[in-house]
Structure 1
Amino acid sequence: MRELNVLWTQSHGAVLSYIRSIVVDFHRADDVLQETAATVAEKFDEYDRTLPFAPWALGIAKFKVLEYLRSSSRDRLVFSEEVAESIAGAFSELQIKASDTEIALEQCVSRVRGRPRKLLEMRYLRQTSVEDVAQATGMTSTAVRVALHRIRKSLLQCLQDQLPGLYGGNHLPRGRQ
């Protein structure tokens, strides 16, 4: 149950966005979301854990949206089933890319060691202000900002190296890291 809660929490925004992109009435969209959540919970044992969760949940949402479209077929403001399926495919693709980026970012961050790692953790995991990070590390605020900028730039380069397709092959010049 905990696994389902974590996965649903991570995917909830994408599922809701997909539903609301097609179901224009917010109340009906919330109804479709509730039906989707119930079906996801009922069918969670069937979920293949080797595949990303969000596209699976979006697939269920797509069927719930299609059911809604069929029941509302007389409403002039309803999308066709083909449009709904096309939008679902786009959302699934975006979620897969987001999952790939998260995995790549975790790998890139795991390579950061020493003081840069400490700065990242203080600033972004603990959400410590730059001034407090500076005080805790004995650095100036300006030095912390510069170091964080360099670390972020290095992480971006790492992401671009790991996922060139997502960045159109654009890489930062090696000499400017």
Structure 2
Amino acid sequence: MSAKSVDSSTPNVEPLESRRTLSVLWSQHHLMVLGYIRSVVIDFHMADDVLQETAAAVAEKFDDYDSSRPFLPWVLGVARNKILVALRKNSRDRCVFDEDLVSQLADTYSQLDIDNNEAQEALSECVSTLQRRARKLLELRYVRDLSANAIAQATGTTAGAAGVALHRIRKALKDCVQFKLGEAMHPGGDA
């Protein structure tokens, strides 16, 4: 039996393995990509659209990705291109970033990935210290991806109250993470 007939009778494993690899890489980096997009695209809905367009483009172009190189800079490059397209379409908006700044932000986010594991550990520790209600609000917003209105409806509050609560939670988490990262850099030292 020739190799050709074996290949045609057996399922092609490469595309399945490629999809698995993409799934793992995307799940590891999508929050960093989202953070980058939201740091440039002010409109929340537009940022989500750009993230979806980025994910689709990454899936479409994944065969072109050089696996010997880091994934994050490559995916941020794809995101940068999608951001620039979105910003050009909406150039009449008053807050539009120039292309150099968008590129600099992508470079910065690539460098941030180095410290990402420590930050994720710190964030996880900080989230675990939150009260149950605060963790529930975070889950509704970031796991279930609900809007402020939907969160308000689910929790029996107003959208404004939900937004303020989320803002306070994010600030508390930011302060906690910064403290923990500072503590990691200077263990046992005077703070």
TM-score by length of 1: 0.55
Q: What is residue 112 of structure 2 aligned with on the other side?
A: 94
CA deviations over 1:69-117 (Å, ceiling 9, x no partner)? 1111111122121211111110011124547x7xxxxxxxxxxxxxxxx
Q: Match for 2:56 among 12, 22, 38?
A: 38
Q: Does 1:78 align with 2:102?
A: no
CA deviations over 1:14-71 (Å, ceiling 9, x no partner)? 0000000011111000000000000000010111111111111111001111111111
Give 1:62's aligned amino acid.
Answer: R
Q: Secondary structure at the match of 1:14?
A: helix
Q: Residues 85 and 172 of structure 1: is their aligned pair in 2 closer, same or farther, counting only changes over 3 Å?
A: same
Equivalent-residue separation in structure 1 for 2:37 and 2:116 (angstroms):
19
**1:148-163 superposed matches below 5 A:** none
Tell me whether 32-41 or 74-83 shows the greater mean CA deviation.
Answer: 74-83
Contact 1:59 1:88 in 2 (8 A): yes
Q: Does 1:60 align with 2:67?
A: no
Point out where structure 1 has 5 or more consecutive residues left out of the alignment. 102-159, 161-166
Give 2:31's aligned amino acid.
Answer: G
Count of equivalent residues = 110
Give 1:77's aligned amino acid.
Answer: C
Identity level (%): 54
Give 1:65's aligned amino acid.
Answer: I
Give 2:99's aligned amino acid.
Answer: E
Equivalent-residue separation in structure 2 for 1:53 and 1:10 (angstroms):
10
Q: Match for 2:42 among 24, 28, 45?
A: 24
Give 1:66's aligned amino acid.
Answer: L
Equivalent-residue separation in structure 2 for 1:96 and 1:37 (angstroms):
22
User: How many angstroms does 1:171 deviate by?
Assistant: 9.2
Q: What is residue 32 of structure 2 aligned with on the other side?
A: 14
TM-score by length of 2: 0.51
Structure 1 runs (4+) greater than 6 angstroms displaced:
170-173
Q: Secondary structure at the match of 2:88?
A: helix
Contact 1:69 1:81 in 2 (8 A): no
Q: Does 1:2 align with 2:27?
A: no
Equivalent-residue separation in structure 1 for 2:39 and 2:75 (angstroms):
16
Give 1:28's aligned amino acid.
Answer: M
Q: What is residue 157 of structure 2 aligned with on the other side?
A: none
